[in-house]
């Protein structure tokens, strides 16, 4: 894998974040994630000000890997890049967005859940793809089945991942990392429960280390 993909894989979990108050919450959230050993974030464009959140998180913790999620337009890509975003995640496979991201030299992880999606990703030379929504689309069993005809890909499942099933996913060789929002729920962020977020990140890191050691 390339350097960015490998760095994300080494961490193993990518918090998927929706920030309603980026000016207030982005910096302390970044510090809470890093304190928990999870220096990476996917900031979704489902909320206004996602680009502001990316910029503020990078300013607070320059060592973090911060990217943009729920990217559905080229304007989102431009905004993410201008804010210092380091990767792009799309909900589905959109050839225009993948090509545009590649033309801007920013890693892109499109949502892929079908053989058709995987074929398309193959044509664009991708090596890491998002499997979304993971649990609702067949979960780990389907991901493993899809890896048989497409061994080229590492997968980042997102959707339905929790502390309860993180180990099951992460110990599978096809899984590079998991995306999750359980450590960055609206309740935790809106009520500024930074210590709880750090604690959940630490638990996630422990689970990942143990699962990979025993895989």
How many other β-carbons are positioned within 10 Å of the β-carbon of residue 52? 16
**Domain ranges within the chain, ordered by starting residue:** 3-214
Q: What pLDDT, on a 0 to 100 scale, did the predictor assign at position 93? A: 98
SS3 94: coil
The DSSP bridge pattern shows strands 178-180 and 13-17 to be parallel
Q: What pLDDT, on a 0 to 100 scale, did the predictor assign at position 117? A: 98
3-214 placed in CATH 3.20.20.70: yes
Q: Say how far apart CA 155 and CA 131 lie, in whole Å.
A: 6
Q: What pLDDT, on a 0 to 100 scale, did the predictor assign at position 215? A: 81
pLDDT 10s digits, 137-181? 999 999 999 999 999 999 999 999 999 999 999 999 999 999 999
**Is residue 203 among the annotated active site residues?**
no
- Residue 34's H or E segment, with its range, is helix 22-35
Cis ω for the linkage preceding 133 (within 30 of 0): yes
Query: Looking at 18, 58, 130, 154, which residue is catalytic?
Result: 130
For the chain, give the mean pLDDT. 97
**Is residue 42 among the annotated active site residues?**
yes
Q: What pLDDT, on a 0 to 100 scale, did the predictor assign at position 74? A: 98
Q: Say how far apart CA 140 and CA 151 lie, in whole Å.
A: 15
pLDDT 10s digits, 71-113? 999 999 999 999 999 999 999 999 999 999 999 999 999 999 9
What is the model's pTM? 0.97
CA 100 vs CA 78, 203, 211: distances in Å: 10, 37, 36
pLDDT 10s digits, 46-62? 999 999 999 999 999 99
User: Taking residues 196-205, what's their average pLDDT?
Assistant: 98
Query: Looking at 42, 58, 135, 154, which residue is catalytic?
Result: 42
The pLDDT of residue 1 is above 90 = no
């Amino acid at each position: 894998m390339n350097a960015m993909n490998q760095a994300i894989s080494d961490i193993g979990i990518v918090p998927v974040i929706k920030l309603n108050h980026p000016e207030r919450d982005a910096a302390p959230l970044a510090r809470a994630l890093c304190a928990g050993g999870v220096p990476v974030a996917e900031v979704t464009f489902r909320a206004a000000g996602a680009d502001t959140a990316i910029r503020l998180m990078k300013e607070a913790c320059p060592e973090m890997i911060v990217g943009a999620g729920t990217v559905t337009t080229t304007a989102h890509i431009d905004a993410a890049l201008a804010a210092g975003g380091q990767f792009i995640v799309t909900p589905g496979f959109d050839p225009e967005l993948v090509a545009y991201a590649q033309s801007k030299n920013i890693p892109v992880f499109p949502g892929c859940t079908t053989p058709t999606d995987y074929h398309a990703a193959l044509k664009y030379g991708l090596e890491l793809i998002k499997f979304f929504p993971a649990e609702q689309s067949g979960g780990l069993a389907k991901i493993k089945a899809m890896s048989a005809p497409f061994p080229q890909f590492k997968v980042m499942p997102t959707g339905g991942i929790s502390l309860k099933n993180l180990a099951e996913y992460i110990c599978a060789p096809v899984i590079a990392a998991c995306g999750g929002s359980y450590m960055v729920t609206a309740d935790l962020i809106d009520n500024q429960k930074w210590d709880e977020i750090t604690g959940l990140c630490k638990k996630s890191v422990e689970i990942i280390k143990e699962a990979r050691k025993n895989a």
